[in-house]
């Protein structure tokens, strides 16, 4: 009996079970590498790496569920990766890009954003097992970690789009860091796009919009990403009203 139990404990996992964690580690390394390129003043590549990490972050959980390889280890690793890629990396990149001129004050804002990310992820982990009504799964409590990073980086993406030097406006970056941090730790419900149900009649138009988005992304990436970031900010009041309406009906 003991021999059987020990052989099970030492049984090698399938490669499929390692793939989601490998994607998570890739996202972590990608996000962390953005700091290296920021130190080299390759700003566009630094921002792009954080955005790539966001794409990878959206893939690992889905692939884990698809392969039935989700685990507590993977969930904890994902949170650590999110903190580095979307908490530490964006804050440091913004500091190196513009906020360094404020010296101690700029670094305090960097610490504020990273701390807000840590608090947001800690709250997310503690609420994972809390039961919610089915309709509530379409909303996130506060802004998700990748979108918080995108808000912090929005002025940089706009500067690339306009081909203007926004480095001389540290107040703009301070505003987005503070706003992104507060929105992440807030209780404001925001749309969780991966769980939003799409009526059948809207599937084809949506796929056409995806094609248009990809064409715009390859043609004018920074303009497209800046517009998407602005639209997301505008969607927050809409998501709040939608949540309150559905909550009142459920009650």
**Is 83 within a domain?**
yes
Is pLDDT of 237 > 80? yes
Q: Are 32 and 84 in contact (CB under 8 A)?
A: yes
Beta pairing partners, 141: 189
What domain count does the chain have? 1
Maximal C-alpha separation, the chain: 70
More confident: 187 or 251: 187
**Is 234 within a domain?**
yes
Compute the C-alpha angle 76/80/86, nearest 5°.
Answer: 135
**Is 2 within a domain?**
no
**Is 177 within a domain?**
yes
Binning pLDDT at 50, 70 and 90, where does residue 165 land? Answer: confident
For residue 241, the tally of other CB atoms under 10 A from its CB is 11
Domain that holds residue 208: 14-126+137-243
Interhelix angle 170-185/89-97, nearest 10 degrees: 160
Binning pLDDT at 50, 70 and 90, where does residue 202 land? Answer: confident
**Is 131 within a domain?**
no
Q: Give the phi and the psi of residue 98 in degrees, each rounded to 5.
A: -140, -45
**Is 199 within a domain?**
yes
Radius of gyration of the chain (CA): 20
What residues contact 195, with CB distance under 8 A and at least 6 apart?
Answer: 137, 138
**Is 1 within a domain?**
no
Q: What is the pLDDT of residue 5?
A: 47
78 is written with which tokens?
A: 């994902």
Looking up residue 110, the CATH number of its domain turns out to be 1.20.120.1760
**Is 5 within a domain?**
no
Question: 142-146, 192-196, 199-203, 218-222: lowest mean pLDDT where?
Answer: 192-196
Question: 40-44, 152-156, 198-202: lowest mean pLDDT where?
Answer: 198-202
């Amino acid at each position: 009996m003991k021999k059987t139990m020990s052989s099970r404990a030492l049984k090698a996992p399938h490669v499929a079970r390692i793939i989601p964690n490998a994607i998570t580690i890739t996202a972590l390394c990608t996000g962390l590498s953005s700091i290296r390129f920021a130190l080299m003043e390759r700003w566009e590549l630094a921002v792009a790496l954080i955005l790539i990490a966001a794409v990878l972050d959206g893939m690992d959980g889905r692939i884990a569920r698809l392969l039935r390889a989700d685990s507590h280890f993977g969930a904890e690793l994902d949170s650590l990766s999110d903190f580095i890629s979307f908490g530490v990396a964006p804050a440091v990149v913004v500091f190196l890009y513009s906020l360094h001129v404020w010296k101690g004050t700029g670094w305090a804002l960097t610490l504020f954003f990273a701390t807000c990310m840590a608090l947001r992820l800690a709250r997310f982990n503690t609420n994972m097992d809390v039961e919610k009504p089915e309709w509530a799964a379409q909303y996130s409590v506060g802004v998700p970690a990748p979108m918080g990073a995108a808000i912090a980086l929005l002025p940089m993406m706009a500067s690339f789009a306009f081909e203007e030097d926004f480095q001389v406006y540290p107040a703009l970056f301070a505003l987005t860091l503070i706003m992104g941090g507060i929105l992440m730790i807030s209780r404001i419900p925001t749309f969780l796009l991966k769980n939003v149900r799409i009526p059948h009649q809207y599937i084809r138009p949506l796929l056409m919009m995806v094609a248009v988005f990809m064409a715009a992304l390859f043609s004018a990436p920074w303009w497209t990403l800046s517009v998407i970031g602005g639209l997301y900010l505008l969607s927050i009041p809409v998501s709040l009203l939608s949540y309150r309406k559905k909550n009142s009906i459920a009650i």
